[in-house]
Amino acid sequence: MLRDELANLIYQATRKSQKKGSLPRVDIPEVVMERPRRPEHGDYATSLPLKMIADINRALKEADKPKLSPVDVGRRIVHRMESVPFIAEASVAPPGFINISLDSGWLAQQVEEILKAGDSYGTVDLGQGKRVQVEYGSANPTGPLHVGFGRNLVLGDSIANVLDAAGYDVHREYYVNNAGSQMAKLGESLYVRYCELLGIDGEEIPEGGYQGEYLRDWAQEVIDREGRRYLDLARDEAVEEMRVLAQERAMEGIRSDCTRMNIHYDNWFSEQSLYDTPETDQSITSGQSVFDRIMSVLRQNNHLYMADGAVWFDAKTLGSSKDEVIIRSNGEPGYFVSDIAYHFDKFVIRGFEWVIDVWGADHQGHVPRMKAMMEALRLDPEQLTLCIYQMVTLLESGEQVRLSKRAGTSVDLSELLDDIGPDAVRFLLLGRAADSQMELDLVLARQQSDENPVYYVQYGHARIASILRYAMEQGSSDEGADVSLLNHPSELALIRKMLELPEVVALAAENLAPHHLPYYAQDLASTFHAFYRDCRVVSSDPADAEVSRARLRLVKAAKLVLARTLTLMGVSAPEQM
């Protein structure tokens, strides 16, 4: 990555200055390269001299030598910098910045390098094949996904995409919460609605059951398919079968929403499997369920105790705010024990080196107990990252949308997908940092104008595609192009912007912050539009033939980079609009 190469050049020049005696031997801090806001300050800059000046002057004072200014330090470092083809100029500016300007001829040649990289352009090797699991979505299969989970899906899938582009071995997983009392209540709730529609008294929805109108729809589907068959079964048997049917129906909707949003998992992990005795690998598991195994581990490590008829996990001794129930007094497993078993499966059984859980803000309070769990399992808490995101508010003409137009309840994700489309959902839900509140303006999302960032970026890609089609129709081609002819400021600005993608990928991966992608996509589209305004690509004048070929080559590279950015966001790159 160019940024890292520049940082290394300056680091080596600093060391060389120390060896030659022009700077005293003090610790060299990390060389951080940043992009200046003002073009006249070059393409990259570092404040290294300012960071080092105190230590340098302290050493000089001890050696009874005169003090230096940060500008003096910068000049001595620049003097020792190795000459490389991609740097046109290295200069020092007050109060002590080293500014780097890239060579325009080298910049023009990067068009060929981008095209050579193809769809892998933007890939960086931060992860070096490290096995990472990203678990996201994971809503309880008790009804349709609501809009809030849309942000979970978009954030998690985009994190997985950028980690994959950053050289990690990424595994995408959806955790199906299908064990415990909530699923039994779902089955009973469906059975009650089934009986109601058949004119039979099926009793009341259980306390804590599900009242959603969707259950009537599901019950009608059961009637259409099975008729009155479940009335002939014992109530408990019918409720159990309804539980299975309801889970299958919920998962069908969840899978459909994910497919529409271009989200594809490597694994759909069943919570119930944690409690089931495995049928394979008995030599490894000794025939024990994952639940049995973690209970043994926690007992052996003295992290369980009995109180009030229940089994408790001593999370407080490991830094959490309170202890947690593992087995309730009625003998049923508590909610948290599934989390423990599931992460034991992730780390110990399947061997992931890094696990990322994407959770809503309502789970913020669970973070300490998850870290305590890692300690109790003798695992490194740093291997578990909990990515917490804030909720989503839908706005319509400035007013908050609280209810679904179809059902009069909370807005389902599928309804939002029908309204503004999967691309707009993914792009807009990625537009803010995870820890920021999200407002999604439906009126803006429906607009086909430059004010709508989704439309603006996709239109940029469609415009590029139309330029290439027009060139083909006119018999123009980039074959044999001489990219060294690309020297117009708008051409070079576009190349500079394209070269930022690897750094954006690295930034997003290092900070689990894929919201940088839509901002970069908008900047890239804007830079392309400026280039297209300033530089005629296809010309009928024979004197422009060589420049046209070079510009077509540049346009082709821009199309590749913009499509790659959209793909990382899970958004389509249309050929025409």
Residues 248-276 have pLDDT tens digits of 999 999 999 999 999 999 999 999 999 99
Q: CA-to-CA distance for 34 and 358, rounded, in angstroms?
A: 30
Q: What percent of the chain has pLDDT above 90?
A: 86
DSSP codes joined into one string, 450-500: TTSHHHHHHHHHHHHHHHHHHHHHTT---TT--GGG--SHHHHHHHHHHTT
Could you give the dihedral angle defined by the CA atoms of residues 429, 414, 273 and 339, in that order, rounded to the nearest 10 degrees?
A: 40
For residue 285, the model assigns a pLDDT of: 52
Paired with 134 in beta bridges are: 172, 356
Report the Cα 187 to chain-centroid distance in Å. Answer: 34
Task: Report the alpha-carbon angle 226-228-231, nearest 5.
Answer: 120
Identify the band that residue 539 occupies on the pLDDT scale cut at 50, 70 and 90. confident
Confidence of residue 409 (pLDDT cuts 50, 70, 90): low
* Those residues with Cβ within 8 angstroms of residue 148's Cβ, 6 or more apart along the chain or in another chain: 360, 391, 392
Higher local confidence (pLDDT), 541 or 100: 100
pLDDT band at 408 (very low <50, low <70, confident <90, very high): very low
**Two structure tokens written together for 154:** 């978009």
Cβ neighbours of residue 239 closer than 8 Å, sequence gap 6 or more:
184, 187, 188, 191
**Dist. CA 525–CA 498, nearest whole Å:** 10
Quote the CA–CA distance of 131 and 129 in Å, as a whole number: 6
172 Cβ neighbours under 8 A, 6+ residues apart: 133, 134, 136, 156, 157, 160, 264, 265, 266, 267
- Point out the least confidently predicted range of 138-152, 279-293, 485-499: 279-293
* DSSP letter, residue 574: -
Of 452 and 179, the one with more pLDDT:
452
Of 151-155, 235-239, 281-285, the poorest mean pLDDT is in 281-285
Q: Tell me, yes or no, if the pTM score tops 0.85.
A: yes
Q: Would residue 100 be called left, alpha or beta, if left means φ above 0 and alpha means ψ between -120 and 50 degrees?
A: beta
Listed in sequence order, the residues at least 6 apart from 262 whose beta carbon sits closer than 8 Å to its beta carbon are 422, 426, 570, 571, 572
Name residue, tokens 């291997």.
383
Distance CA 220, CA 319 (A): 50
Q: How far is CA 425 from CA 245, 264, 508, in A?
A: 29, 16, 20
**pLDDT above 70 for 443:** yes
- Give the mean pLDDT of 219-244: 95
d(CA 523, CA 525): 6
Identify any residues that bridge with 90 across adjacent strands, giving them in sequence order: 100
Residue 185 has pLDDT above 60, yes or no: yes
Distance from C-alpha of 317 to C-alpha of 285, rounded to nearest angstrom: 29
Contact between residue 161 and residue 570 where contact means Cβ atoms under 8 Å apart: yes
For all residues of the chain together, what is the average pLDDT?
93
Q: How far apart are CA 526 and CA 558, in angstroms?
A: 12
Mean pLDDT of 345-352: 96
* 457 vs 1: CA distance, rounded Å: 25
Query: How distant, in Å, are the alpha carbons of 66, 326, 360, 376, 386 from that of 381?
Result: 49, 20, 20, 10, 11
CA distance 349 to 241: 32
Residue 94: cis peptide before it, omega within 30 degrees of 0: no
17-48 pLDDT, tens digit per residue, is 999 999 999 999 999 999 998 888 999 999 99
What does the pLDDT read at residue 208? 87
pLDDT tens-digit map of 45-98: 999 999 999 999 999 999 999 999 999 999 999 999 999 999 999 999 999 999
Confidence of residue 356 (pLDDT cuts 50, 70, 90): very high
2-19 and 501-511 helices, crossing angle to 10°: 90
Report which DSSP code applies to 144.
Answer: P
Give the other-Cβ count within 10 Å of 280's Cβ.
7
* Sign of the torsion angle spanned by Cα atoms 275, 278, 279, 282: negative
Three-class SS of 38-78: CHHHCCEEECHHHHHHHHHHHHHHHCCCCCCCHHHHHHHHH
Contact of 336 with 363, CB cutoff 8 Å: no
Q: How far is CA 106 from the centre of its chain?
A: 32
- Residue range 544-571: mean pLDDT, rounded: 97
* pLDDT the model gives residue 286: 63
Of 158, 176, 129, 130, the C-alpha closest to 387 is 158
Q: Are 223 and 197 in contact (CB under 8 A)?
A: yes
Identify how many contiguous H helices and E strands the chain contains and give both numbers.
20, 14
∠ at Cα 524 (521, 528), nearest 5°? 140
